[in-house]
Chains A and B, each alone.
Chain A
Amino acid sequence: MTENVDAIVVGGGIHGCSTTLHLCLAGLKPVLIEKDYAGRHASGVNAGGVRQLARHVPEIPLSIRSMGIWEKIADLLDDDCSFESHGQVLVAENEDELAVCRARVAELNALGFTHEELIDATELRRLVPAVADSCPGGVVSRRDGAANPAQTTTAFRRKAEQLGATVREGVAASNIRYSDGLWYVDVGSDTYAAPVLVNAAGAWAGTIAAALGEPVPVETVAPMLMITSRVPHFIDPVVILRGRKLSFKQFKNGTVLIGGGHLATPYQDRNETVLDWKSLAISARTVFELFPVMRSATIVRAWAGIEAKMKDDIPVFGPSSRHKGLYHQFGFSLHGFQLGPGAGAVMAELIVNGGTQTRIGDLGIDRFHPSTL
């Protein structure tokens, strides 16, 4: 049986869920199709960083747009998503790194962005008292913070459903095709038809784009995270490093999350990842050196989420360059969580109004010519 809807969104990560919700808010009737369940992969198991700090310049406008939504997330979703705003701090471990920070902040200021502030050793120590004494300073983005990723993604899904979206979980979208101005997608024995199709399928999105004639340089990656048992409160902001791969955050419940982008081996077809403990050991050593207080904490769990990483590390976001009614929203390359709320809002504007005030021009799929693949 074919059911006609206003839009079909493929992929129940934070991006698919957010776009679905924002389409509902604009008065559309979308269907969201998720092969597992909302937030099963990267969106549900990432570090939960809500970060404008240290972003690639082309995605900063989207990030700033998103931040405004994060700050009122409970109004939007009736769920606080455990969002907390204690800032994010990028730590320079030596003077050379601090010089790079200084140049970066100057570059952003010249472009008119003021969310990143250079800080000296004193301010760093005030924000992050536990950091090793040798660090000379860094950069802070004071409005940044963190949220609970699975809670957030589920909240978007739930609210979208409340506002009239159809959510199909547990069955993959298949046989995607275009005919007479409509996109058709099969979900088990059902078929949905809509003038709009949003490809927000995360690690599976590259395959969909390629099948529709728009191949892009994307790979499947699985960044690893690990978490400690509860320890007494000792740090407020999220900490990332300039020179080494590390992100570091303590939750309200006392557990400390350690991440930073070391990769597991993804087995995408099996929804499975195999952790690389020798790389996690590097993260552990970095924490060991930078936060001596953490040395006796116990690691209780490690995991990895499967997601898509673009060759140039910035997402594919916007209309297709080949097909009418097709939009891409994937490839967030290990930093898509914070962008989710804003990207959904902007995507809905693109779909409903045909344009947006938010600058996203550099993120389009048309930046990849066949010669760059």
Chain B
Amino acid sequence: MTVAPKHEDYDVVVIGAGPAGLAAAAISAEAGLSTLLLDENIGPGGQVFRAIASTPVTERSQLGADYWVGADLVQSLRASNAEVIQRATVWSLDRNLDIAISVGGASAFVKAKRVILATGALERPFPIPGWTLPGVMTAGAAQTMLKSSALVPDGRTVIAGQGPLLWLLAAQILRLGGRIDRILDTTERGNYFAALPHAFAFLTSPYFAKGLSMMREVKAKVQVVSGVTELSASGDGQLANVSYVAGGKRETLPADLLLLHQGVVPNVNLAMAAGVEHRWDELQLCWSPVLDANGSSSVAGIAIAGDGAGIGGANAAVVRGRIAARAAVEALAPAAAAKLPAMATLRADLAKAQRGRIFLDTLFRPAPQFRIPSGDTIVCRCEEVTAKDVLDSVAIGATGPNQLKAYRRTGMGPCQGRLCGLTVTELMAQARGKSPQEIGYYRLRAPVKPITLAELAAVPKSEDDVKAVVRG
């Protein structure tokens, strides 16, 4: 599996083997384009179809029918001629479509005519007091372990937050015999009213019935506290207690594991490092790339599909992958495009897949106190920078995230802002009375994932370098 790319040039390089990437690579390769699919994980599937080809969870109903859809996508990919490399970390992509990949500790460079970024989403930062304590994890982390290693929470477990994934995870944990002591629902009361105008589309979407039955399944077995307005974790070097306020009443319960979730946001690092323009999305409260109807970005040749293009869920991701791939085929092998589903059909599929999304986005728009922390709460996990530190820097002249780096190194650690960027933008925006769009985001840079000096030192010489040696 961990072999270097076979070629230096490809028609299409797809980055990420989740729903969008799997769909895109299969279409591109079937249409006869030389296609390379690069993925960082051990196997294909991304997050939603994590470990789809290897999960030890053999009782299919436990993971749910929506999960196993991924197996068909993997099958289509394998039936195609796409070259697939797992455990490949793309650490650089630029506007020349030069791509640097680390595979098995060695770096290789490939060039693409088209790049389809399908790097998906990550969970929104949930910066509450104590969120760096061992024993506090994301809900997605628990789901990853459940899918790929059939691991379930064992000790006293609290799940806190909001959104569809939280309920799905709870149902899956219970089905596999895991333990959940309490669920703390942080959905803001006011969101129910705000979401009401969008309810019709949602009621007629597939999310509705599934979501409702899952919530019933969970609520039958676990105490659920709704209307949670404050949340914190505490402990000495290890999570010991979860404290919350609901209905004006504070309660503290002992816990070994706290799983946090308040939705997902686009994973922008590679796209931003390549120079793709992004805009602040006021509804989803995150940065989303500026794209045309085909998913093409502001950088010629780079398209973005899946949740990295703006959160749309797995079904929409698959269709966006197909749209981006079809657009690449139209550009590079127009004759082959005729055999693919018509763009109009794909767009209709996308509209269908996106029905109900605005309702979900409105209902599960996270509350300000869970996005914009204060005082000693850590904002940047890597450099251990608190909300107060950020505000102090604003007071002495840091006007945006990039100036803040100089004072506090926020975003300069290995995660490159993935776990603090949104918080820093919103915190600085609030402090300076500006919009997040005006405040902006970190300028992201390669390597988007760290590489060792030895690995970089072993990179093949440039032509100029070779010439210099020859002359010398």
List residues of chain A with CB under 8 Å of any chain B CB: 37, 39-40, 44, 148-151, 154, 157-158, 169, 227-229, 253, 270, 272, 274-282, 284-285, 287-288, 294-303
Contact = CB atoms under 8 A, between A and B. Distances in A.
B453 A158 contact: no
* Most B Cβ at <10 Å: residue of A40, A148, A277: A277
Nearest to B461: A278
Contact of B452 (A154, A278, A298, A301): A298
B94 A287 contact: no
Given A169-B399, A277-B456, 15 more contacts: A37-B399, A229-B450, A277-B98, A277-B109, A278-B459, A278-B461, A279-B465, A281-B457, A281-B459, A281-B460, A282-B465, A285-B457, A297-B453, A300-B413, A302-B446
A288 B452 CA distance: 11
A282 B468 CA distance: 12
A299 B96 contact: no
Contacts of B56: none
* Most A Cβ at <10 Å: residue of B92, B414, B416, B457: B457
B462 A278 contact: yes
Contacts of A148: 406
A294 B453 contact: yes
B452 A302 contact: no
A298 B451 contact: yes
Contacts of B414: 229, 298, 300
A299 B453 CA distance: 6
B100 A277 contact: yes
A295 B452 contact: yes
5 contacts: A277-B446, A279-B462, A281-B462, A296-B453, A298-B450
B94 A158 contact: no
Interface residues of B, number: 41
Given A154-B406, A278-B459, A278-B465, A272 B275 contact: yes
Nearest to B109: A277
A208 B450 CA distance: 40
Contacts of A284: 453-454, 456-457, 459
B388 interface: no
A39 B398 CA distance: 11
B447 A288 contact: no
A299 B409 contact: no
B396 interface: yes
B460 A278 contact: yes
A109 B109 CA distance: 49
B412 interface: yes
B406 A150 contact: yes
Contacts of A229: 413-414, 450
Contacts of B397: 154, 157-158
B198 interface: no
Nearest to B463: A278
Contacts of B399: 37, 169
Contacts of A270: 275
B454 A296 contact: yes
A149 B402 CA distance: 13
Contacts of B100: 277
Nearest to B450: A298
Contacts of A158: 396-397
B472 to A, nearest CB: 12
Contact of B94 (A37, A44, A275, A298): A275
A365 B453 CA distance: 42
Contact of B406 (A44, A278, A288, A294): A44
Chain B facing A: main interface SS: loop
Contacts of B403: 37, 39, 150, 154
A298 B89 CA distance: 14
B454 A301 contact: no
B207 interface: no
Nearest to B460: A278
Interface in B419-462: 443, 445-447, 450-454, 456-462
A277 B454 contact: no
Contact of A302 (B398, B445, B457): B445
Given A253-B409, A282-B465, A287 B457 contact: yes
A352 B298 CA distance: 48
Nearest to A150: B406
A276 B464 CA distance: 12
Contacts of B464: 279
A280 B406 contact: no
A37 to B, nearest CB: 6
Given A300-B416, A301-B416, A302-B446, A277 B92 contact: yes
B95 interface: yes
Nearest to B274: A274
Nearest to A251: B409
Contacts of A301: 412, 416, 445, 447
Contacts of A275: 92, 94, 445-446
A163 to B, nearest CB: 15
B453 A298 contact: yes
Nearest to A297: B453
Contact of B454 (A276, A278, A295): A295
Interface in B271-287: 275
A272 B409 CA distance: 21
Contacts of B443: 303
Contacts of B454: 284, 288, 295-296
Contacts of B460: 278, 281
A148 to B, nearest CB: 6
A317 to B, nearest CB: 26
Contacts of A303: 443, 445
A300 B457 contact: no
A281 B461 contact: yes
Contacts of A227: 412
Contacts of B357: none
B405 interface: yes
B370 interface: no
A275 B459 CA distance: 14
